[in-house]
């Protein structure tokens, strides 16, 4: 049953929808998808057009706002908003180490998770749209992986769209995961060196932490094994607007003096665990490379394989040579399923997904070339998470797509800019800019 309640300036309604697990077998198993309807207070009865929000990830539920935070206030000026928890996330039917054993063993789990990519998410949207809008098309706002979903939407069901707004999420249309990571590691290196240029003292601090980890390899609260490679993956912070500062403050308090000598502080370990653990979003680790998979090739732990082509990321060599320790980010690697207790039970499932070759194509270049849906995309210059060159090539392949390329924001521009990024995109699709 739908439940309505209020926050400052907003009326919210929690809604649940039943959708097929496999849309090609509509009479088979069904799962639940949750969405939160938002409308500005006092406009509950207004005939507003709908905007559906698709979160980044994969594997994260929609934002849990308090009132008109971030971009939501701007959206509610003109729209009724649906914050969708994509299948397997948030309050939708969960998929994690606790629930996946209900499916059976690793093979059954992998077969189940094969239905959790962008193509199934878009078909969920089309299944619930008639109930939500009465059949009218809606605007989709896709952040990061949500932009991948929006691009698939334009390929598969453009008749369901009034407009598409994409922020930091124009994917490569035909690139393999290997191509994605060959482009990603040089960006990670640039971000690492830019961090050290801003905070020169952090080069020695990071080296000291890495040396300690190489010798001791501590186990964090809850059982997370903090290896040097895990420490390097804190570079995921460098893809956000304030991430370099957060990394700096994390490193400056890494050690504490004890009767037994200096060791990693409890505060540092707790903060690191909060950043690195996938307990709250295991689908991100399980399906991250699968969101690029198509064309009959396995992903085969692409990020880990490609990393070997970039020896400067070898921490042991950096420590031996006195070179700066490079951070990584936006890269899921097999060792994570050994380090993270939330992922360990899913290691065989992840291996099976990495070996899979029967992924369906995600994008239709011919249909995108003939696109008639108004589309605008914010492309963040040197985005850590999505390659700018890949995004701009895709932008040229989608008829009528208008881009806003900016270095004012990092990948989290939609969240941190208040109304500004969304306002710019709406202006572009409405022809006001």
Active site residue 144: yes
Do 398 and 154 meet the contact criterion of CB atoms below 8 Å apart? yes
Give the active site residue among 22, 411, 412, 417: 411
Give the number of other CB atoms < 10 A from CB of residue 289: 26
What's the token pair of residue 238? 């460098």
The CA-CA-CA angle for residues 10, 241, 427, to 5°, reads 55
Active site residue 321: no
Q: For 192, what's the count of Cα atoms within 13 Å in the CB-facing half-sphere?
A: 22
Give the active site residue among 144, 155, 192, 339: 144
How many Å apart are CA 234 and CA 273, to the nearest integer? 10
Do 147 and 166 meet the contact criterion of CB atoms below 8 Å apart? yes
How many Å apart are CA 241 and CA 137, to the nearest integer? 34
Active site residue 358: yes
The full 3-state SS of the chain, as one line of letters, equals CCEEEEECCEEEEEEEEEEECCCCCCCCCEEEEEEEEEEECCCCCCCCCEEEEECCCCCCCCCCCCCCCCCHHHHHHHCEEEEEECCECCCCCECCCCCHHHHCCHHHHHHHHCCCCHHHHHHHHHHHHHHHHCCCCEEEEEECHHHHHHHHHHHHCHHHEEEEEEECCCCCCCCCHHHHHHHHHHHHHHHHHHHHHHCCHHHHHHHHHHHHHHHHCCECCCCCECCHHHHHHHHHHHHCCCHHHHHHHHHHCCEEEECCEEEECHHHHHHHHHHHCCCCCHHHHHHCHHHHCCCCCCCCCHHHHHHCCCHHHCHHHHHHHCCCCCCCCCCCCCCHHHHCCCCHHHHHHHHHHHHCCCCCCCCCHHHHHCCCCCEEEEEECCCCCCCHHHHHHHHHHCCCCEEEEECCCCCCHHHHCCCHHHHHHHHHHCCCC
Residues serving a catalytic function are 144, 358, 411
């Amino acid at each position: 049953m739908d439940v309505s309640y209020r926050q400052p300036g907003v009326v919210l309604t929690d809604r649940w929808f039943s959708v097929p697990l496999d849309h090609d077998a509509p009479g088979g198993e069904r799962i639940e998808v949750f969405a939160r309807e938002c409308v500005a207070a006092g406009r509950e009865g207004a005939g507003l057009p709908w905007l559906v929000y698709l979160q980044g990830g994969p594997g994260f539920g929609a934002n849990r706002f308090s009132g008109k935070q971030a971009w939501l206030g701007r959206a509610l000026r003109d729209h009724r908003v649906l914050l969708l928890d994509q299948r397997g996330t948030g309050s939708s039917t969960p998929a994690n180490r606790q629930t996946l054993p209900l499916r059976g063993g690793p093979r059954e789990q992998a077969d189940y998770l094969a239905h959790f990519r962008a193509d199934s998410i878009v078909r969920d949207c089309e299944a619930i749209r008639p109930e939500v809008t009465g059949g009218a098309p809606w605007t989709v706002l896709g952040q990061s992986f949500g932009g991948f979903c929006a691009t698939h939407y334009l390929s598969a069901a453009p008749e369901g769209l009034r407009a598409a707004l994409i922020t930091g999420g124009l994917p490569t249309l035909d690139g393999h995961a290997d191509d994605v990571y060959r482009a990603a590691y040089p960006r990670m290196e640039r971000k690492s060196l830019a961090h050290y240029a801003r905070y020169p003292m952090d080069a020695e601090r990071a080296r000291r932490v890495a040396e300690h980890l190489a010798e001791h390899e501590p186990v964090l609260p809850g059982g997370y094994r903090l290896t040097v490679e895990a420490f390097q993956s804190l570079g995921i912070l460098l893809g956000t607007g304030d991430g370099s500062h957060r990394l700096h403050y994390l490193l400056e308090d890494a050690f504490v003096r004890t009767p037994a000598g200096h060791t990693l502080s409890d505060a540092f370990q707790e903060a690191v665990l909060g950043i690195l653990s996938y307990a709250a979003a295991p689908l991100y680790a399980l399906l991250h490379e699968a969101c690029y998979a198509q064309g009959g090739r396995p992903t085969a732990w692409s990020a880990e394989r490609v990393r070997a082509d970039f020896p400067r990321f070898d921490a042991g060599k950096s420590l031996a040579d006195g070179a700066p320790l490079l951070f990584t980010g936006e890269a899921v690697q097999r060792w994570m399923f050994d380090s993270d207790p939330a992922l360990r039970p899913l290691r065989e499932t992840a291996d099976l997904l990495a070996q899979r070759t029967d992924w369906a194509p995600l994008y239709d270049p011919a249909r995108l070339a003939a696109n008639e849906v108004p589309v605008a995309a914010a492309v963040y210059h040197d985005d850590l998470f999505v390659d700018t060159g890949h995004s701009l090539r895709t932008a040229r392949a989608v008829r009528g797509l208008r881009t806003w390329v900016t270095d004012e924001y990092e990948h989290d521009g939609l969240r941190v800019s208040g109304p500004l990024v969304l306002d710019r995109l709406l202006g572009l699709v409405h022809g006001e800019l």
